[in-house]
Chain A
Amino acid sequence: MDLLILILQGIIVAATPLVFAAIGELVVERAGVLNLGVEGMMILGAVSGFAITLESGSILIGIVSAALAGGAAALLFGILTQLLLSNQVATGLALTIFGLGLSALLGQGYSGATVMALEKIHITVLSDIPILGAIIFSYDPLIYLSFGLTGCVAWFLAKTRAGLILRAVGENHDAAHALGYGVVKIRLAALVFGGACAGIGGAYLSIVQTPFWVEDMTSGRGWIALAIVVFSTWHPGRALLGAYLFGGVTVVQLHVQGLGVDIQAQVLSMLPYIVTIIVLVMISRDTLRAKLNAPACLNKSFFASS
């Protein structure tokens, strides 16, 4: 039983950075922009969150600056792709490479240092319920924030006028422009939001999950987050599910390694990625579904010619 609780808790902790990054990217893609720089924005969030927390002593300030760093990187991407009309795929890849390099540079002095990890919230009565309390009510505030964020984004996209406008921009930017909506402005706002989310996701790695800084510590999670967005067919709830699936496989394989099962460790480490690929393939087999849900203007440049 204890092991099960431990695994469940582990899954939730492992999945949270992905939830943040995927939900952020989902909003960006719904607005019709493909930002492949998630990995770069995450690692920038991780390094700046860690460094600022260490310098200021406040985790809150650290997380806010991680969000700012991610948002700034996304804004850079936005200026290049939305205003200067550079290619989104190429710019996104460049952003990833840029983020990895810059974070290694910035993080040079911080390798080996540690910060106090974010503490878990203890809710009287609720957290003391046996088993359930441990599974549901024993986490740090960021995990609850990730749930809240998913809910808010789902509500925003489905129920609000602003959300409708955002989807409209992703669906047909020419029509949205003709109706008088500022396509570029809306996309920039979505990008900054997505970047901030990715930054928080990165900071969760360096401040909460493993409270120290290592180069390249995101190790491909940005790419997984991108895959999760496609997996979710652009629905926030399913994105949460996808993140937990990946997080689940990651944690389970760690425990399997711990139990000393006779499979090579490298093979087990591959598992989460293989599962992600398999799920993606299964989903894209149903092209009809994917085509109907994908924002029609995804990865298309918008230029108000008239």
Chain B
Amino acid sequence: MKTPILLELSEITKTFPGVKANNDISFSIKPGEIHALLGENGAGKSTLVKIIYGIMQPDHGQMFFGEKLYKPSEPFEARANGIGMVFQHFSLFEALTVAENIELGINKEAASKDLNRQISEISETYGLPVDPIQRIGSLSVGECQRVEVVRCLLQKPRLLIMDEPTSVLTPQESHLLFQTLTKLSQDGCSILYISHKLEEIRMLCERATVLRDGKVVAQCSPREESARSLAKMMIGSNLKTPQPSKPAFGEKRLSVNGLSINSTNPLGTSLCNLVFEVRAGEILGIAGVAGNGQTELFEVLSGERTVDKNMVQLDHRLVGHEGPTKRRELGMCCIPEERVGHAVVPDMSLWENCILSARTRQKLERNGFLNIPASHNFAEKIVENFNVKTPSVKRDVRSLSGGNLQKFIVGREMLQNPRILVIMQPTWGVDAAAAADIHFALNELAETGTAILTISQDLDELIAISNSFAVISEGRLSEPRPTINVTIEEIGLLMGKTSHFEKNEQNDPP
């Protein structure tokens, strides 16, 4: 007897101008199995699941769902067939309530009158507490994801697609999610699990399909592989592992003394009495779930938002009241989370973008005139040292892919010989090879005596590169301590420590 197949993909090909995003992809998913789709950014995972969910149509190839030819032209059809999807960047509407969001994500026929009852039924069965009348804007990221999952489960799916679900969760939240997924698969629902986190795939998934450059390069059983061998399949070569630098720190470079401010964004988080310092050669990592005050902290450090001058100190100078230009002059370089539009201007060339940030420290401007040859040289130096793939520094920054763009931005700030570097989400959305390069470069920079502050949501990353460690939660910072002594579980507890009650109250409209 042949094993039943729920979804079969056969020779799926999708071409975009200049790229073959999916090239001849074939694999199948069995009923009730948790199947991993593994690959780096740009390997074609997202395109493939969009094809399965009916957002895009393949150029060639066929799909069979439950042995029948399946050719969705719209997500409605996918949902009607019993395919649900939880998106990586949530498809939620902040100003609407949980119930309204759920109604939008299910087909008309399923949106019956007792929706609220159905929601509470599902949340009880699968341990996913949600409150239908709350606004999404007031929920934490983990809660948002629960809403997405509930929304899918309401349609009693036979296949659930999860696109990088844990990239925004605390370890505890991830753990809860895994329990839900395991229960679902026991109930007979198949799950297509997309991720590049190898450990969780080894823990959760029975089979894996590995994509590289739009092609299937391997099919394996992740439980029989090591994280290292999986990574090798994924990127096709061995990874450099960063070595945390020796904890021999120099003098105090950056100190923040009792920083308290109110957020300017109604849905933001206010900071409350932050105290920390970073010494020369030290890498301080600040962890936390998004929206706990990281954006506000970054604005204050970069000088985009000025505060009382005593609150921020560079070397021996009080600079809380100084703007970004002055701080850069004094040796503080900052790399924000938002790359396009915050770190770089997408419609300007690489060399022009160099001037925007490095004009004082690299003397790319004199008496109001641009030093164009020097800017070209500086840009070329970045491209060379940081292995940025681009045909010319005259190209628009827009043309760089995510990983290349981040390498360019990181390079631009690092090559200015900063005394202090503040970097937010250093490897967000960057593929594993580029991430390893960036980690390596950060370590090297710290060894030359620069003080580095990293704000990230990726715990593995922070543990791998930082010497000291603190957690930001609800706008408060835990006491920094040496990374060597902390465990992932401890950090997770710190991250989820405070309840969301306080925050909700602030966010409710008057």
Are A and B subunits of one complex?
yes
9 A-B pairs within 8 Å (CB atoms) are namely A165-B104, A171-B96, A174-B89, A175-B91, A176-B104, A180-B74, A289-B509, A293-B509, A306-B47
Whether the Cβ atoms of A306 and B50 lie closer than 8 Å is: yes
Q: Does A9 sit at the interface, judged by CB under 8 A?
A: no
Q: Does B122 sit at the interface, judged by CB under 8 A?
A: no
Whether the Cβ atoms of B266 and A306 lie closer than 8 Å is: no
Q: Does A275 sit at the interface, judged by CB under 8 A?
A: no
Whether the Cβ atoms of B91 and A179 lie closer than 8 Å is: yes
Query: B141 CB to closest chain A CB, in angstroms?
Result: 15
Contacts of B104 in A (CB 8 A): 164-165, 168, 176, 179, 181
Given the known A-B contacts A164-B103, A164-B104, are A175 and B92 also in contact in the complex, defined by CB atoms under 8 Å?
yes
Whether the Cβ atoms of A180 and B94 lie closer than 8 Å is: no
Whether the Cβ atoms of B55 and A171 lie closer than 8 Å is: no
Contacts of B56 in A (CB 8 A): 306
How many pairs, one residue from A and one from B, have CB atoms within 8 Å of each other in the complex? 71
Q: Does B440 sit at the interface, judged by CB under 8 A?
A: no
Per-position 1/0 for A125-165, Cβ under 8 A of B:
00000000000000000000000000000000000010011
Q: Does A185 sit at the interface, judged by CB under 8 A?
A: no
Interface residues of A, CB < 8 Å — how many? 24
Q: Does A120 sit at the interface, judged by CB under 8 A?
A: no
Contacts of A165 in B (CB 8 A): 104
Q: Does B54 sit at the interface, judged by CB under 8 A?
A: yes
Interface residues of B in 18-55 (CB under 8 A from A): 46-47, 50, 54-55
Whether the Cβ atoms of A180 and B75 lie closer than 8 Å is: yes
Whether the Cβ atoms of B93 and A292 lie closer than 8 Å is: no
Contacts of A172 in B (CB 8 A): 91-94
Q: Does A296 sit at the interface, judged by CB under 8 A?
A: yes
Whether the Cβ atoms of B509 and A179 lie closer than 8 Å is: no
Q: A175-B90, A180-B74 are known; give 12 further A-B pairs, CB within 8 A.
A: A164-B104, A165-B104, A168-B104, A171-B96, A172-B92, A175-B87, A176-B91, A179-B75, A287-B266, A291-B266, A292-B137, A295-B95
Partner of B87, one of A178, A289, A293, A295: A178
Contacts of A167 in B (CB 8 A): 93, 95-96
Q: How far is the CA of A173 from the CA of B380 in the complex (A)?
A: 38
Interface residues of B in 258-274 (CB under 8 A from A): 265-266
Query: A72 CB to closest chain B CB, in angstroms?
Result: 29
Q: Does B426 sit at the interface, judged by CB under 8 A?
A: no
The residue in chain B whose Cβ has the minimal distance to the Cβ of A171 is: B93
Whether the Cβ atoms of B510 and A289 lie closer than 8 Å is: yes
Interface of B toward A, CB cutoff 8 Å: 46-47, 50, 54-56, 74-76, 79, 87, 89-96, 100, 103-105, 108, 111, 137, 265-266, 509-510
Contacts of B76 in A (CB 8 A): 180
Contacts of A289 in B (CB 8 A): 509-510
Contacts of B510 in A (CB 8 A): 288-289
Query: B97 CB to closest chain A CB, in angstroms?
Result: 10
Whether the Cβ atoms of B100 and A164 lie closer than 8 Å is: yes
Contacts of A288 in B (CB 8 A): 266, 509-510
Query: B87 CB to closest chain A CB, in angstroms?
Result: 6
The residue in chain B whose Cβ has the minimal distance to the Cβ of A287 is: B266
Q: How far is the CA of A178 from the CA of B89 in the complex (A)?
A: 10
Whether the Cβ atoms of B509 and A292 lie closer than 8 Å is: yes
Q: How far is the CA of A175 from the CA of B56 in the complex (A)?
A: 15
Whether the Cβ atoms of A168 and B93 lie closer than 8 Å is: yes
Q: How far is the CA of A175 from the CA of B135 in the complex (A)?
A: 16
Contacts of B265 in A (CB 8 A): 291
Query: B482 CB to closest chain A CB, in angstroms?
Result: 41
Q: How far is the CA of A172 from the CA of B100 in the complex (A)?
A: 13
Q: How far is the CA of A155 from the CA of B47 in the complex (A)?
A: 39
Contacts of A291 in B (CB 8 A): 265-266
Query: B84 CB to closest chain A CB, in angstroms?
Result: 11
Contacts of B266 in A (CB 8 A): 287-288, 291-292
Query: B202 CB to closest chain A CB, in angstroms?
Result: 29
Q: How far is the CA of A180 from the CA of B509 in the complex (A)?
A: 30
Query: A223 CB to closest chain B CB, in angstroms?
Result: 26
Contacts of B103 in A (CB 8 A): 161, 164
Query: A238 CB to closest chain B CB, in angstroms?
Result: 14
The residue in chain A whose Cβ has the minimal distance to the Cβ of B266 is: A288
- Greatest chain B CB density within 10 A among A171, A289, A295 is at A171
The residue in chain B whose Cβ has the minimal distance to the Cβ of A182 is: B74
Q: How far is the CA of A127 from the CA of B218 in the complex (A)?
A: 82
Interface residues of A in 264-301 (CB under 8 A from B): 287-289, 291-293, 295-296
Q: How far is the CA of A295 from the CA of B96 in the complex (A)?
A: 11
Partner of A180, one of B54, B89, B137: B54
The residue in chain B whose Cβ has the minimal distance to the Cβ of A295 is: B95
Q: How far is the CA of A153 from the CA of B264 in the complex (A)?
A: 33
Partner of B111, one of A161, A175, A180, A287: A161
Given the known A-B contacts A161-B103, A164-B100, A288-B266, are A175 and B93 also in contact in the complex, defined by CB atoms under 8 Å?
yes
Q: How far is the CA of A296 from the CA of B79 in the complex (A)?
A: 27
Whether the Cβ atoms of B95 and A178 lie closer than 8 Å is: no
Contacts of A306 in B (CB 8 A): 46-47, 50, 55-56
The residue in chain B whose Cβ has the minimal distance to the Cβ of A165 is: B104
- Greatest chain B CB density within 10 A among A174, A179, A287, A306 is at A179
The residue in chain B whose Cβ has the minimal distance to the Cβ of A291 is: B266
Contacts of B91 in A (CB 8 A): 172, 174-176, 178-179
Partner of A296, one of B50, B74, B94: B94
The residue in chain A whose Cβ has the minimal distance to the Cβ of B89 is: A174
Partner of A161, one of B75, B93, B94, B108: B108
Whether the Cβ atoms of A179 and B105 lie closer than 8 Å is: yes
Query: A117 CB to closest chain B CB, in angstroms?
Result: 43
Whether the Cβ atoms of A171 and B94 lie closer than 8 Å is: yes
Whether the Cβ atoms of A171 and B95 lie closer than 8 Å is: yes
Contacts of A180 in B (CB 8 A): 54-55, 74-76, 79
Q: How far is the CA of A292 from the CA of B136 in the complex (A)?
A: 12
Query: B210 CB to closest chain A CB, in angstroms?
Result: 22
Q: How far is the CA of A47 from the CA of B90 in the complex (A)?
A: 47
The residue in chain B whose Cβ has the minimal distance to the Cβ of A181 is: B104
Contacts of A292 in B (CB 8 A): 95, 137, 266, 509
- Greatest chain A CB density within 10 A among B91, B93, B96 is at B93
- Greatest chain A CB density within 10 A among B74, B91, B100 is at B91
Contacts of B105 in A (CB 8 A): 179
Q: How far is the CA of A174 from the CA of B266 in the complex (A)?
A: 22
Contacts of B89 in A (CB 8 A): 174
Q: How far is the CA of A194 from the CA of B75 in the complex (A)?
A: 29
Query: B251 CB to closest chain A CB, in angstroms?
Result: 42
